[in-house]
Structure 1
C-alpha cells in the first residue's frame, strides 16, 4: 500500500507577521482585489488546486482526526468545492449596486443606492474539528467580497494545515492571500495587528481573547462558537427516527461538532424506549463495533480525550450503552448515559465528543425550562414531536439555528446562513451570507446641480421663514395609528371591506381601483407618483 507523502508542518516566525500583514494591506489599497474577474479567477484556481490535492487532503483528515473517506469528502473537501462553485455562479450578481426600498419621493432624484465594498484585510482563524471546511469556507467568502486575507489554520490538525498552506500558495496570489502557521505565540502576534475584520471559529474561551484583542482597535469580528445544545423529545415523537437522527449527529466526527446536541431531554414515559432505540441504532451504524469501523473518527488529541473522560468520570448518571475508551488510539465509544440531575457535569459542560446524556423530564414545559437554564443561547436546538409541540419549543427557546425532527440538518445546508446568537457566536456566513459577512454595504447618493432651488429650504436663515413647513411637507411622515396604538382605517378601506369579512378581498379591490386610476392618468399624459406619506401625486407632463 502506497503511503501518501504530505508536506511538513512548520510554524511561521512571529517576527514575519507584521511584514506579511503590511504586504497584504498594501495590495488591498492598490485596488487589485476589487475587479470581479480577479476574484473569480482566484476562486476558480482554488477549486482546481483542491481537486489536484484531494488525496492529500483525505490523508491529512485521516491522520489528524481518523476521518473516513465519506466524512472527509462530504463534510470537508466536496463541501468547499460546492461553496466555490456557488460563489462563482452568483458573485457578479451580488456585487451590483442595490436600489434601496421605501425611498421618499423627495429623495428619488438623488439616485440613492447601496454599493458593495470589500472591508479590507481579513484574518481567518480556523478550527480543528472540520479543519478544511471551517478554514477555507470563510476564506472563500472573503475572496468573493474582494478582500485580502491572512488565514491561520488550527495547529491541532497539523497535516491538514500543511496541505492547506500548499494549496493556498499554489492557487492564490501571494500578495493578497497568505497562510500563517503556529500556535498560541503566532496567534497572539496576529491579534496584535490591525485588521478590518477577524473571523474566528473555536471555543468560547478563546473567543473572549479574540474579542478583547479586537476591541483595542475597534475591529469588527465574527465568532462561530458552540454551546450546550439541547434536544427535546416528546411522547408524540417517533422514537426510532429520533434515536437514529440524534445518533448520526453525535457520532459524526466522533461528536466533535459544535452544533451537535449536548444532551437529550425526553418525556419520562418514553425515555426507556428512546434509550433502547439508541442502542439498536448504534449496532446498526457500527455492526462490528465503532472501534473497528473505518467510518468512525478519533478524538483530536490526548488533552481533548482526557477532558471528555473526566466529564464521564464525574457524572452521577448511569452508563446504559458504550463507555469503552482507549487513550493510546484516542478512541471513545458512542456512550449513552441516563442522568437525573440538570446540574450533572454532562449537561452543564460541552462534551464535544460522543457522549449522549439522556435525561427524563415530567413534561415539555420542564424540558424547555431546563434547556434555557443550562444554556440560554445555544448554537442549535433540536425538537422532536408534533408540530404543536415543536412550535412550542421554538417559541420557548433561543438558538443560533434549529432543526425540527432531526439533528442539526439546518447546519448541513451549505447555502443557508449559519451562525450563533449570544454566547454561541455572532455573525453568520455560508452562501450569500459569506459574501455579506465580508462586505460593507455603503450607502451612496448623487445630488444633481439642478435641484439646488428645491434644496434651498435646508440653508439658513430659518427664523422668520416657512422653510420648516416646506421641509415637513416633503419629509415628515404622518402616523397611521392613533394615541391608543390602534391602526387607523380610511373611509375608503372601510367601505371596500364592509360586509366582506376579508381584508384581503378589500385590498384586492383597492389595488384594482388604484391600478385603473394610475392607468387612466398615464393615458391622459400624466405621471403618477407616491410621496413619503403614501399619498398619490399626479404630475402633468407637457408635450
Structure 2
C-alpha cells in the first residue's frame, strides 16, 4: 500500500512571496518555448503514473471511490489530457491568419498570435479532486502560463498526493501548490492574477467573481446546477431509467452535471420506477451498502445537508432511503414529489437523491425546467428526435446529453462549461488551451505603403470620402431589411474556398493595391 503524505497547510504569510516568485518565473520567459511546455506535461504524466496507487488510495479514503472510478475518472482522464495536449500543442499555438479582413487591409498581414495570459490561480473542488485540478492545469501549462494550485481541503488525502506529484514532477519556480482552507484561499484572492479558474459551488463562485472584479481579473467559473432530466412518454423507458440511475450513482451523486431532478410523463411513471428498481438490482445485486463500487459523502457537513433536504421534502420514497452518518453513507434514493417547489428541486442535492416529478406533457416539462433554474449546467432529454430537439431549443444549459446522463461532460476533448449562474467560460481539449490564452491581434505595415497610408494623416480636408471608399462596406439590403440581389457579389463568391478562388482573390488584391496607390497619388 502506498504511503500518503501528511497534509500541511501553507503559511498564510508566505503566500505573497510564493505568488511573486511564480510571477517572476513567467516574466523570465521560461515558459514560452513549446518544447519546455511539452516536457512539463510529460513529467506530469509520469508523476501521475508513478503515484497511481497513492491517488487511488487517497480517493478511497476521502470519497469512498472505488478502483474503477478512481482510475477511469481521475487518473486516466488526466494522463490522457497530458498526452492530448502534447500531441496537439504545435497546432494550437501556431499563429493564425486573421479572417474576414477587407481586401485592402490584407497588405498589413494581420494575424492572431497565441500568448499565455501570465500567472494564473486554479482552485479545485472536492468531488473530482484530481481530474478537476489537473485537467485545467494541463491546459494552463500547454498555453505557457505559470500556476498556483489550491486543491480542496475537503479532500485532504488527495490534496497531499497532488502536492507530491506536482513538486516531484514540475518546475517549482513555475508551479506551486498552496494548501489550506478559507484563510489561505482569502490570502490567495488578495493577490493580483492574470486568470482565476475555479470549480465549485455558486456561493464561493460569487465571492471569487466579486474579488476578481476589483482587479479586473478574468475568470472561468465551473459551477453546479439544478440540472433537469426530461422523460417523455415516447422515450425508451428502460434506457432512460438505466442511464439516469448511472448519472446518480457515479461518485455517490457528487457530480455537478448529474441530473438534479427528473420530469416524467405521468403515463410512463410506473414503468420508469419499475425499470429503475430493476437497474439497481442489476448494478448492485447485494446493495450499495457494502459495495466497493459505491462511494461515500465527502464529510459530515455535506451528509447532514443532504439528510435535511430529504427530511424537508414532502415527497414519497419509492426506492432506497437508508442513511448512516457514521459511515457517511446515503443509499441511492428515488423520491416522488408533487411540486416544483419541493426542497429537492429548488436546491442542488449533489448526492444520490433522485426526485421525480410527474408532468402531463412536454409543454409542462419545459415550463417547469425553465422555472426551477433558468441556466442549468446540464440538460438530459429522453424522447423522440423531435422532442429532444425541442428541449434543446427551448431550454438553456451549459451542455446537454440527449438520451443519456452527463456523457457530454465525460469526454476529455469536448469543450465543457456553464452558462449564467452555472458558470462562465469553458475548457477541455483545445478549449483548455484557449481558456488560458490571449489571442493577440498583430499587423505589420510595410514601409513601402507610406504613400498609400498618407490619407490617414492631417490635414483631413477632402480625405473622408477617400477613406470611406477604401473601408466602408456597402449594404446588400434595402430600408425594409430585404436583401437585394447583387450580380457582383455573386461573381466574387464563385470559387470561394477553392485553390482557384484563392488565386483569383490574390490577383484581385494585387490589382486593388496598384489601383489604390494610383488613386491616392
Contact 2:494–2:501 (8 Å) recurs in 1 = no
Deviation per residue, 1:283-332 (Å, 9 max, x gap): 11111000121100000000000000000001111000000001010000
User: Number of residues paired by the alignment?
Assistant: 515
Q: Give the 5 Å matches for 1:200-239.
A: 200-239=198-237
Contact 1:44–1:84 (8 Å) recurs in 2 = yes
Deviation of the 1:409 alpha carbon: 0.7
Q: Secondary structure at the match of 1:291?
A: coil
Equivalent in the alignment of 1:38? 36
Deviation per residue, 1:231-258 (Å, 9 max, x gap): 0000000000000000001110000000
1:511 aligns with 2:494: yes
Task: Measure, in 1, the Cα distance between the counterparts of 2:113 and 2:26.
Answer: 18
Q: Of 243, 260, 263, which aligns to 1:262?
A: 260
Q: Against the structure 1 CA distance between its residues 341 and 458, is the aligned structure 2 distance closer, same or farther, given a 3 Å change threshold? A: same
Deviation of the 1:528 alpha carbon: 2.7
Equivalent in the alignment of 2:332? 334
Q: Of 134, 141, 144, which aligns to 2:142?
A: 144
Task: Measure, in 2, the Cα distance between the counterparts of 1:105 and 1:353.
Answer: 57
Q: Against the structure 1 CA distance between its residues 483 and 49, is the aligned structure 2 distance closer, same or farther, given a 3 Å change threshold? A: same
TM-score (norm 2): 0.96
Q: Against the structure 1 CA distance between its residues 518 and 123, is the aligned structure 2 distance closer, same or farther, given a 3 Å change threshold? A: closer
1:452 aligns with 2:435: no
Task: Measure, in 2, the Cα distance between the counterparts of 1:329 and 1:284.
Answer: 24
Q: Secondary structure at the match of 1:337?
A: strand
Equivalent in the alignment of 1:528? 507
Q: Of 167, 180, 185, which aligns to 1:187?
A: 185
Task: Measure, in 2, the Cα distance between the counterparts of 1:192 and 1:419.
Answer: 26
Equivalent in the alignment of 1:482? 478
Equivalent in the alignment of 2:320? 322
Contact 2:262–2:355 (8 Å) recurs in 1 = yes
Q: Give the 5 Å matches for 1:78-227.
A: 78-227=76-225
Deviation of the 1:226 alpha carbon: 0.7
Deviation of the 1:106 alpha carbon: 1.1
Contact 1:527–1:539 (8 Å) recurs in 2 = no
Q: Of 470, 473, 479, which aligns to 2:469?
A: 473
Task: Measure, in 2, the Cα distance between the counterparts of 1:114 and 1:237.
Answer: 46
Deviation of the 1:473 alpha carbon: 1.6
Task: Measure, in 1, the Cα distance between the counterparts of 2:119 and 2:167.
Answer: 18
- Runs of 4+, deviation exceeding 2 Å: 490-493, 507-519, 536-540
Q: Of 385, 389, 396, which aligns to 2:387?
A: 389
Deviation of the 1:424 alpha carbon: 0.1
Deviation of the 1:37 alpha carbon: 1.0
Q: Against the structure 1 CA distance between its residues 358 and 165, is the aligned structure 2 distance closer, same or farther, given a 3 Å change threshold? A: same
Q: Against the structure 1 CA distance between its residues 450 and 267, is the aligned structure 2 distance closer, same or farther, given a 3 Å change threshold? A: same
Deviation per residue, 1:7-35 (Å, 9 max, x gap): 00110010110000000011111101111
Contact 2:104–2:512 (8 Å) recurs in 1 = no
* Structure 1 unaligned residues grouped into runs of 5+: 494-506
Deviation of the 1:179 alpha carbon: 0.5
Equivalent in the alignment of 1:251? 249
Deviation of the 1:454 alpha carbon: 0.2
Deviation per residue, 1:325-379 (Å, 9 max, x gap): 0101000000000011110000001000000001100110100010110000000
Task: Measure, in 2, the Cα distance between the counterparts of 1:216 and 1:515.
Answer: 49
RMSD of aligned C-alpha atoms? 2.1
Please say which structure displays the higher CA radius of gyration.
1
TM-score (norm 1): 0.92
Equivalent in the alignment of 1:350? 348
Equivalent in the alignment of 1:25? 23
Q: Against the structure 1 CA distance between its residues 157 and 512, is the aligned structure 2 distance closer, same or farther, given a 3 Å change threshold? A: closer
Deviation of the 1:527 alpha carbon: 6.2
Contact 1:528–1:538 (8 Å) recurs in 2 = no
Equivalent in the alignment of 2:282? 284
Q: Against the structure 1 CA distance between its residues 59 and 518, is the aligned structure 2 distance closer, same or farther, given a 3 Å change threshold? A: closer
Deviation per residue, 1:203-255 (Å, 9 max, x gap): 00011111111111111110000110000000000000000000001110000
Q: Secondary structure at the match of 1:292?
A: coil
